[in-house]
Every structure is written in structure tokens, then in C-alpha cells.
Amino acid sequence: MLRLGKREFGDHEPVIMAIVNRTPDSFYDQGATFADEAALSRVAQAVSEGAAIIDIGGVKAGPGEEVSAEEEIRRTAAFVAEVRKQHPDVVISVDTWRHEVGTAVCEAGADLINDAWGGVDPKLAEVAARYGVGLVCTHAGGAEPRTRPHRVGYEDLMADILRVTLGLAERAVDLGVPRDGILIDPGHDFGKNTRHSLEATRRLGEMVGTGWPVLVSLSNKDFVGETLDKPVKERLLGTLATTAVSAWLGARVYRVHEIAETRQVLDMVASIAGHRTPAVARRGLA
């Protein structure tokens, strides 16, 4: 069972995490939800389309203008409080690697800390434990936040992913983070080239086999773009194909930009797997 905030999710229940960037320079939407009104509208739309988790980020993942912890807090904490007020039952996640930000957003009502940079700040897990919130434990290949991989290599990629993510997860449990609120993430594109991200997808079943719920953040990423030679705005089909494969292999949570399209893919895979009945059943019955 996965428990986040007020929500409990069954073992075969795919969960959509909608991306809401509070940044002026995000790689995908280029600041479309930087303003409060636009961001709140995005949250409302995401919830209506079936997102159970809203993932709020105050700093873009890639290189760019430096953003201090104080500025990141300014972009996220008050917004978390407003989302909590308007959507009391939604799970609120915040994408940050800094414990100062983690503390501020937990005080504001966050339910989950999405540590996409793999425990680079060990105090962040301590914050999750102190507030009793969930934690995403990610493999980033030892990369520093906001850096791109350069000639990175692994003797056995999945062995390294498991070593790092399981180590972070067990440390979180030891610190007091609720076991049923911890997810592991292979970290597509983070500390990896395109071939690494494809291999991580292909071998995702090895992560699922550990028993920890697996989160995948695939949406419109560079490994999709390079695989198909497509620019950012033309990566939806590749993203959805990767989503379907990940769902078949057992991933539980999907961090995405396009919620409605992802919902259809996940519902279709769940029905093929026998975990969901068709929405209607008329064919051959008349």
C-alpha cells in the first residue's frame, strides 16, 4: 500500500503526478505557470483530468540562472499553502533538493518531498521524517544539482540504481520516514545519457521487484527526444510509448505534463493486464 497525505493507493492503481513549474524558464512550458493565477488554473485542470498528486517545482532541473533557497521558498511555500486550501484532498509534492525548502513547504502543507537529485542534501530526508511526509528517493548518478551528464558510465547501470535508491530508502526508514510513503525513481536523464535511460526503462522490472513503489519521470525528456530525434514539443508519442512500457513493467507513479493522455494509456495498460474493467462493454453482447 502507498499512502501519501490523505490518500491510499492500491497495489495495482497507477497514480498520476502532474507537473506544475513555478519557474520562468522551465524546459517544457517556458514559464507558463510562473504566475500564481496561471499555476492555480493548471492545478485545477490537472485535478479534473485525474491527477492525484501535484508536483510543484521552484527551480528548473537544467543549468540556468542561479536560484537561492530563499527565492525557491518564495516561489513554492505560499503556493503550496494556497493549493492546500483550494484542494484539501490532493497530494502535494514539492520537487527540491534543499532541506531549507523542504522545511518551508512542509510547514505550508506539503505531503511529499520529491528529491530528484538523489540525496545530495542528506538533511532533506531528516525533514521528511520530522514532518511525517513521503519521500522520493532518486538515482542521479552522483551528479550535482542542475548539471548535465558528461561522459558518464556505469559497470552495471541497474545495479547502481538499486544500490543508490534502496540505500536512500532504507536510510529514510531508519530516520523515521513512513515506509509506505517512500518511492524509488530510476532518474531518467539525471546522470545518464540516452542509452542509460533506455536501459533503465527496459530493466524497470528489477526495481519493481524490490517491493518499493517505483516513480518514473519520463515526460518529454531528452532521452525521448534523442531516441526519436524530436524537439521538446514533439515528444508526446514517445513519452506515452515509454509510459506504456513502464506501466506494463509495474511502475506505480507517473510524473507528467499531459495528464489526460497519460490517463488513457495507463487505463488501457491496466485493462490489458486485467487490473481494470473496460469503461463500457457492448461489443458482441447485443
Q: Which of 255, 263, 276, 283 is catalytic?
A: 255
Q: Of 54, 65, 142, which is closest to residue 93 (Cα–Cα)?
A: 54
Return the SS3 of 33: coil
Give the number of C-alpha atoms closer than 13 A to the C-alpha of residue 43, restricted to the C-beta side: 29
Phi then psi dihedrals of residue 2, to 5 deg: -110, 125
State the CB neighbour count (10 A cutoff) for residue 175. 15
Q: Are strands 182-185 and 134-138 parallel, antiparallel or unpaired?
A: parallel
**133, 180 in Cβ contact below 8 A?**
no
Active site residue 192: no
The edge-to-edge listing of strands for the beta sheet with 134-138 is: 182-185, 134-138, 112-115, 91-95, 53-57, 15-21, 253-256, 215-217
H/E stretch holding 242 reads helix 236-249
| Separation CA 13–CA 124 (nearest Å) | 28
| Separation CA 270–CA 10 (nearest Å) | 13
Q: Which of 98, 192, 221, 235 is catalytic?
A: 221
Active site residue 221: yes
231, exposed or middle or buried, with CB in 10 Å at 0-12, 13-18, 19+? exposed
Output the CA–CA distances (angstroms, integers) from residue 165 to 119, 125, 159, 222, in the order listed. 9, 13, 10, 22
| Separation CA 98–CA 75 (nearest Å) | 14
Residues annotated as part of the active site: 221, 255
